[in-house]
Structure 1
Amino acid sequence: MLSNAVDPGWVPTKMGGPNAPDDLELGHRTQEWLASSDEPQALTTDGCWYHRQRLQPHRAVHDEAFQNRLLRTLASRRAPRSD
């Protein structure tokens, strides 16, 4: 199974707002391409993609100590359940 991260860009949606500068049409094309293409570049895994271009992810992606600190911080700030 292949797994990749995709940044659709800042697109004009309810979440992105009407002034988002990216093209809404381009926002989904990379996901479609990765899911359906037989091109060798699309048949890769562990990638970070933006408009069919593979990007170098932030160095924290490979920093397990940072990831553990982040998870601890997020867990300590979890909102109390209201049930």
Structure 2
Amino acid sequence: VVNRAQMAIFLLRAKHGATYSPPAVGASTGFGDVPLEASYAPWVKQLAAEGVTAGCGSGNFCPLQNVNRAQMATFLVRAFGLP
């Protein structure tokens, strides 16, 4: 089982390489439920910046929500530009 925060990290590392680190968060994560100080915040913000996610609705990302198969398939297609 993988939650959305974990998914953000492993997708970006798979796409950019194991040593990749996303840019600093700055003043906002872009999501109301992703605090600036969260270890996953830069990953979530970068995933959104790359157009892989727009969150789970209402301005949130739902970082601790588990990802189901359909959601994971969607994330993979968007992250890697699959048909």
TM-score interval for Structure 1 and Structure 2 normalised by the shorter chain? under 0.3
Q: For the pair shown, which has the larger CA radius of gyration, 1 or 2?
A: 1
Whichever structure has more strand as a proportion of its residues is 1
Taking structure 2 as the reference length, the TM-score comes to 0.22
If the length of structure 1 is used for normalisation, what is the TM-score?
Answer: 0.22
